[in-house]
Amino acid sequence: MSIEKRTVPGFKRSLLAAAVLAVSASAGAADGVKMGALATLEGAFTVLGEDGMRGVKMALAERDNKACGQEIELITGSSDASPDSAIRAARKLVEQDKVEILIGPLSGSEGLAVKDYAKTQPQVTFLNGTSAAQDTTLRDPADNFFRWTTDGAQWQAGLGTYAYDEKGYKTVVAIAEDYSFPYTQVMGFMLEFCEKGGKVTDKFWVPIGNKDYSTIVASIPDDIDAIYVALGGADAVNFLTQYEQAGGDKPLIGGSITVDQSVMGSKGRRKSYVVGTPSAGPIADAWDDPRWQAFVTTYQESYPDGLPSPSLFAHGYYVNTLAALTALEAVDCDLSDGQARYRAALSSLELETPTGMVTLDANRQAVADIFLTEVAEADDGSLYNKVVKVTPQVPQTMGMDPEAFLALGPVGRDNPECK
Amino acid sequence: MNPAQEGAQGKATGIGVYPGYAVLLILLLAYPWIASGFWTVQVGAYSLILGIISLSLMFLAGYGGVVSLAQLTIAGCAGYMLAIHGVNSAGLGLGWPWWAAIPIAIVIATLMATLIGLISVRTEGIYTIMITLAIAVAFFYFTRQNYTVFNGFTGFAGLEPPLLFGVNWRDAMPFYYLCLTVAVLCYSLVLYLGRSNFGIAMQAIRDNPRRMSTLGFSVNTHRVLAYTIAGFVAALGGVLSVWFNGRISPGSISTGPVIDILIIAVVGGLGRPIGPFLGALVFVLLENFAIDLIDRDRFNTVIGIAFLAMVLFSPDGLLGLWEKLKPRLVPRREGSAGT
Amino acid sequence: MKLFLLTLLNGLTLAALYFLVASGFTLVFGLMRNVNLAHGSLYLLGAYIGYDVADFSGSWFLGVAAGFVSMAAAGLLLQVLVFRHMEGQDLRQTLVTIGISIVLADLMLAIWGGTTYQFEPPEWLYGATPMPLVRAYPTYRLALLGTAVVIGIALWLFLNRTRIGMMIRAGVDDREMLSATGINVHLVFAITFAIGAGLAGFAGVVGGTALSIAPGEDVRYLLASLVVVIVGGMGSVAGAAIGALLIGLAEQFGLAYSPTYGVVYTFLIMVLVLAVRPQGIMGKRA
């Protein structure tokens, strides 16, 4: 009896070892291509990540989830918008699940981290999700990272010029959150605005997560024409409320994620305040082009509990997945030889998307159309983003000479300046 | 049974360490030969690293009765100092060679730990938790807001161990053995200190500071020294951690991860130095595979409930559970020295 | 000059909000030595529940009441079901509150999602009040300041002029003595926790109306309460007021004149106070 008892812990240990062995040795035997998708499915950005995933699935559904006649295995990874969690999830997808293609991540800082990780995993092809920090492809790009979506600066193409020429704003202040993506957005706006002769007299960098704009509101000078706000939609509503309560009345210029559904769903006084706000970004909800309308309809039919209209996250992930699949078909799913043929196909691909033609530049960065919008009131009283103009094929250098553009230096709190 | 009695029992059986631990050591050494690269690093090495950092918390809490939530901060400080003094992808590093950058990082972090100790030494119990949490949060905010030295929100990437003796120490097996060596060293250090005069004095101070100071022991000096030692251990863990991640950013040291270290130490058990490593293993396994087993969204709820369950039903963590179950599984040794 | 005055007002009104949140925390901490690290979660949960009630009923005031009542009930339950069984084990209680806060935060995220919620206060509270020197100032924030003053006075009266208040104060000074005098300590504890939690929920609705609610606000207000209570001294409502003033003003002036590091200043103040006077400004040595 006592001997049996004594061996129990040893037996348990070997059972555990066997289990560990079995799981670690398993590699999964599938014939089709293994694709990983990484989005923010935890934390406060879950809603955005979920929409991104919808984009991935839409692109897959168009091809019946197959590539070259074989089923594609899609494995999802989840992050919480922090670079560390993105790398952890990417590691699991690449090193444990052995994906051959990875699509993601969602946010700017995650993208920078994934790019660095991609360099250590040359056997996998990485495509972007919606991360829009400039340096992911502009500086020190990775040979196996392909970004089929445009960056935060490109997203603002046309806005600075419109604000100066059509709206007549000559002097503005900027309010944005204190990290890389808003820096990029502000730069995109300022490049055109300052070149036209506009002045950005002050920039208010709001600490991330801060909801109290009272001091910023108090610091906004009186002698300006408009306020450029590059906050997320919900924060923008917060700022607007506090600005209004303090008696502010200057018009706004919006960043790409500012004038979204939450701002347009405003009630009361805020609503009339927002009408006329210009903005720019990679999509425009109300664009009447048939390709876009078809995309919206498919989205709404496939996902009745999704958002009312696909967000730029669904769009971005869709475009990147579409690129991945199109290139796969072009090389007949030949991922041998370090995916050399596949990557060559990706680099030279000319992709037709619901928002126009997209190609890649030498850094594997997308060149695409950008939409300039303005908030208008529909007949039924609701607000929508009316398309003012489409700026075609905007490159990452925004029309500037590449050398000069690079010489501007990485975006930061004080770069660029035009007081 | 506390470490002192355990040590005595070890001596009584004529071996310095439980024979069970010898088996464990063999298993740990053999592990990378059985497991895949992912499992070796993402589970094995990562558990060891988290275990080292949590060990520093356990040392302060278990022996010293001081719960410091600043251990991850010190680990993060070591990581940041390594990034800043060495080479990093943002080009903001001083570019010192590894044999200068690593020691300086550990020294600075240990100094920071001593500083935290000096600030916190006059506080007790709950106040210590609060002040160390506040220091951790302040450091987080500072690294996030400062771009000239700490590169703000983006942090540093491209951090790798040096190429020594022709071995790339970031490859799965070498890295695992590196972490294992450091873990065993730290574990032995804590075990040794626990039985040394210093350790006994620490535990006595934990139990009754007034009596100890009456006896002539300087309570404050002992406590600050404990912070320093714990800081050294945490700094080692911090260096390994940035090599593991290849990066460091404010997100690595925000309130979430800070509390995670506490969770790991408590779940594992604060009574013995093996506890934090147990806790780390459970945590890492859950983190990696909960997403596959349960709805990925609710991972935090699962961890939170596991933590709650542990605190409510087994305050001594997994070790405490094991202690309760052991009499039913393993027969009592002859003449064991108490429980 | 105008910026200075506005910042001063902003600091005062923010201090009012911090006082409301922290007063509950310090009561619980002071009497039961329970560091309720789930206090921030109670703030947010009260805010969410208050939002749903206000949205459903159309009355903001009902939302405020709902915030208070629901969290008071939650606090009562927590004390009776959980903390009562671990009296004296300070670390264990703290750990339990951490676990509860993690689970609550995730569940709230599951139920209410990641979006930000804006309250709709009554019209007469919305908008700006004309004021000398600064031209106009948000009415709501002034009302917030007034509310905090009223609550502060009410709390003071409760603690100093009622029997239960006397028991609570005695308990803060010497817990063992209180039970030795034959008073039902468990009842006193339960009432205190209920009030403390209720105040958190109340502050959640009131503060959420000023600054909106979203995931992450729980951690923010927990940290703020921690700092306020440490600086002001545990168990002292007057200390909470002083601490809140210090921290609120420091935060706003930091944001206005030194926005990059403003967030760090509050914590530095706290570390300084603790290093010099570990029991806080108005605290008593244990």
Domain ranges of chain C: 2-276
Nearest to A179 by CA among A407, A5, A411: A411
Which chain B positions have a beta carbon within 8 Å of C228's beta carbon?
none
Please state the three-class secondary structure of A320-366 as a single string.
HHHHHHHHHHHCCCCCHHHHHHHHHHHHHCCEEECCEEEEECCCCEE
Residue C212 and residue A219: Cβ atoms within 8 Å?
Answer: no
Residue from the list A9, A21, A82 with its beta carbon closest to the beta carbon of B251 = A82
The minimal CB distance from A83 to the residues B37, B155, B299 is found for B155
Confidence at residue B295, expressed as pLDDT on a 0 to 100 scale: 64
Length of chain A: 419
CA distance B146 to B152: 5
C1 part of contact set with chain B, CB < 8 Å: no
Q: Give SS3 for A412.
A: strand
Three-class DSSP category at A199: strand
First to last CA, chain A: 87
Residue A42 Cα distances to A85, B98, B123, angstroms: 10, 37, 37
Both tokens of residue A278?
Answer: 């210009």
Tell me if chain B has a CB within 8 Å of the CB of A73.
no
Pairing label, strands A252-254, B167-168: unpaired
Sequence-distant (≥ 6) Cβ neighbours of residue A49 within 8 angstroms: A39, A40, A41, A42, A78, A79, A106, A313
Distance between CA atoms of residues C284 and C278, nearest Å: 10
Burial class (CB within 10 angstroms; exposed 0-12, middle 13-18, buried 19+) of A413: middle
H or E, element range at A49:
helix A46-62
Q: Which two tokens stand for residue C263?
A: 């967030």
d(CA A127, CA A111): 10
Indicate the length of chain C as a whole number: 286
pLDDT of the residue at C223: 87
Partnered with residue B167 across adjacent β-strands are B164
**How far apart (Å, rounded) are the C-alpha atoms in residues C268 and B145?**
15
How high is the pLDDT of residue A60? Answer: 94
C213 has which bridge partners?
C117
CB contact under 8 A, C35 and B262: no
Residue in B73, B47, B5, B14 with CA at minimum distance from that of residue B259: B73
CA B45, CA B175: separation in Å to the nearest integer?
A: 7
Name the neighbours of A, counting chains with at least 3 Cβ pairs within 8 A.
B, C
Given a contact cutoff of 8 angstroms between Cβ atoms, the answer to whether C43 and C204 are in contact is yes
With CA atoms as reference, the chain A residue closest to B284 would be: A88
Contact present, C118 and C212 (Cβ < 8 Å)? yes
CB of A116 within 8 Å of a chain B CB? The answer is yes
Does the pLDDT at position A14 exceed 90?
no
pLDDT on residue A101: 95
Residue A246 pLDDT grade (very low, low, confident, very high; cuts 50, 70, 90): confident
Which helix (H) or strand (E) is B35 found in, with range? none
Listed ranges A22-36, B22-36, C55-69; the one with the highest mean pLDDT: C55-69
Who among C2, C127, C217 is closest to A245 (CB)? C127
Q: What is the average pLDDT across C254-258? A: 83
> What is the residue type of B287?
E
Q: What is the pLDDT of residue C194?
A: 93
pLDDT in tens, A276-334: 899 999 999 889 999 999 999 999 999 988 888 898 999 999 999 999 999 999 998 88
List, as own/partner pairs, every contact residues B183-188 make where C-beta atoms lie below 8 angstroms and the sequence separation is at least 24, other chains included.
B183/B48, B183/B51, B183/B52, B183/B277, B184/B25, B186/B52, B186/B55, B186/B233, B186/B236, B186/B237, B187/B55, B187/B273, B187/B274, B187/B277
**Mean pLDDT lowest for which of A307-311, A364-368, C14-18, C50-54?**
A307-311
What DSSP element (H or E) covers A383? strand A383-394
Cα–Cα distance measured from residue A346 to residue A146, given in angstroms and rounded to the nearest whole number: 8
Q: How many whole angstroms separate alpha carbon B7 and alpha carbon B25?
A: 18
Q: Which of A223-237, A252-266, A324-338, B57-71 has the lowest mean pLDDT?
A: A252-266
Phi-psi region of B91 (alpha: psi -120 to 50; beta: other; left: phi over 0): left
Q: Is pLDDT at A254 greater than 60 in this prediction?
A: yes
pLDDT in tens, B183-240: 999 999 999 998 898 888 888 888 888 888 888 888 889 999 999 999 999 999 999 9
Q: Residue A38 — pLDDT band, cuts 50, 70, 90?
A: very high
- Alpha-carbon distance A77 to nearest alpha carbon in chain C (angstroms): 19
C260 or B1, which is more confident? Answer: C260
Secondary-structure class of domain C2-276 per CATH: mainly alpha
Question: Tokens 């999509």, residue?
Answer: A283
Look at residue C28 in the predicted model and tell me its pLDDT. 85
| Residue from C112, C120, C143 nearest C46 by CA | C112
Phi, psi of A153 (to 5 degrees): -75, -45
Nearest to A205 among C114, C136, C259 (CB): C259
Residues 6+ apart with CB under 8 A from A387: A284, A286, A287, A288, A371, A372, A373
Per-residue pLDDT 10s for chain B (339 aa) are 454 444 444 444 444 456 777 888 888 888 888 877 778 888 889 999 999 999 999 999 988 888 899 999 999 999 999 999 887 776 677 888 888 889 999 999 999 999 999 988 888 777 788 889 889 998 999 998 888 888 888 788 877 787 777 777 888 888 999 999 999 999 999 999 988 988 888 888 888 888 888 888 888 899 999 999 999 999 999 999 999 988 898 989 988 899 899 989 988 888 888 899 999 998 888 877 766 666 666 777 887 888 888 888 877 777 777 777 777 766 655 444 444
pLDDT in the model for residue C235: 75
- In sign, the C-alpha dihedral spanning A310, A312, A314, A318 is positive
Q: State chain A's mean pLDDT as an integer.
A: 86
- For helices B197-207 and B3-12, the axis angle rounded to 10 degrees is 140
Q: How far, in Å, CA of C19 to CA of C41, rounded?
A: 17
Average pLDDT over residues C66-86: 90
Rounded to 5°, the CA angle A180-A184-A189 comes to: 150
Cα C283 to Cα B200, B235, C26, C113, C243: the distances in Å are: 33, 35, 11, 39, 11
CB contact under 8 A, B315 and C89: yes
Which of C2, C138, C212 has the CB atom closest to A211's CB atom?
A: C212
Would you call C113 and A47 a contact, using CB atoms and an 8 Å cutoff? yes
Percent of chain A with pLDDT over 90: 51
Alpha-carbon gap, residue A240 to A375, rounded angstroms = 15
Residue A265 pLDDT more than 90?
no
Q: Write phi, then psi, for A243 (nearest 5 degrees).
A: -65, -45
Distance CA C48, CA C42 (A): 10
One-letter amino acid identity for C204?
G
Å between B35 CA and nearest CA of chain A: 6
Higher pLDDT, C176 or A153: A153
Q: Do B34 and A2 touch (CB under 8 A)?
A: no
Q: What are the C-alpha distances in Å from A237 to residues A213, A234, B8, B51, B121?
A: 11, 5, 66, 44, 45
Which residue type, as a one-letter code, is found at position A24? S
In whole angstroms, give the CA distance from residue C109 to residue C116.
11
Q: What is the pLDDT of residue B317?
A: 76
pLDDT in tens, C105-148: 989 988 987 777 888 888 788 777 887 777 778 888 889 999 99
The residue among C274, C113, C21, A209 whose CA lies nearest residue B255 is: A209
Interface A-B, measured as beta-carbon pairs within 8 A, has a size of 100
Residue at token pair 């909000």:
C17
Whether B272 contacts C78, CB under 8 Å:
no
Please indicate whether, in this complex, the C-beta atoms of A247 and C216 are within 8 angstroms of each other. Answer: no
Least confident of A75-79, C32-36, C43-47, C97-101: C32-36
In the stretch 251-280 of chain B, residues with CB closer than 8 A to chain C read 255, 259, 262-263, 266
- Give the other-Cβ count within 10 Å of A114's Cβ: 26
What is the average per-residue pLDDT within A7-32?
A: 44
Chains contacting B (3 or more CB pairs within 8 Å):
A, C
Inform me whether the pLDDT recorded for C98 exceeds 50: yes
3-state secondary structure A242-278: HHHHCCCCCCEEECCCCCCHHHHCCCCHHHHHHCCCE
Q: For C18-34, how does the pLDDT look when each residue is reduced to its tens digit (9 = 90+)?
A: 999 999 898 888 777 77
d(CA A214, CA C252) in angstroms, rounded, equals 9
The answer on pLDDT for A149 being more than 70 is: yes
* Residue A266, pLDDT score: 64
CA distance A285 to B318: 54
Domains and CATH numbers, chain B: 38-333 (1.10.3470)
pLDDT band at A275 (very low <50, low <70, confident <90, very high): confident
How far apart (Å, rounded) are the C-alpha atoms in residues A310 and B39? 38
Q: Looking at chain C, which subunits does it touch, using at least 3 CB pairs closer than 8 Å as the criterion?
A: A, B
Decide if B41 contacts B216 (C-beta within 8 A): no
CA dist A50 to A152, C28, C185, Å? 21, 40, 50
Chain B positions in Cβ-Cβ contact with residue A85 (cut-off 8 Å)? 251
CA–CA distances in Å: residue C164 to residues C156, C167, C177, C191, C282 = 12, 5, 15, 9, 22
Given this model, what pLDDT does residue A27 score?
40
Instruction: List CB contacts (< 8 A) between B127 and chain C.
Output: 230, 274, 278
pLDDT band at A200 (very low <50, low <70, confident <90, very high): very high
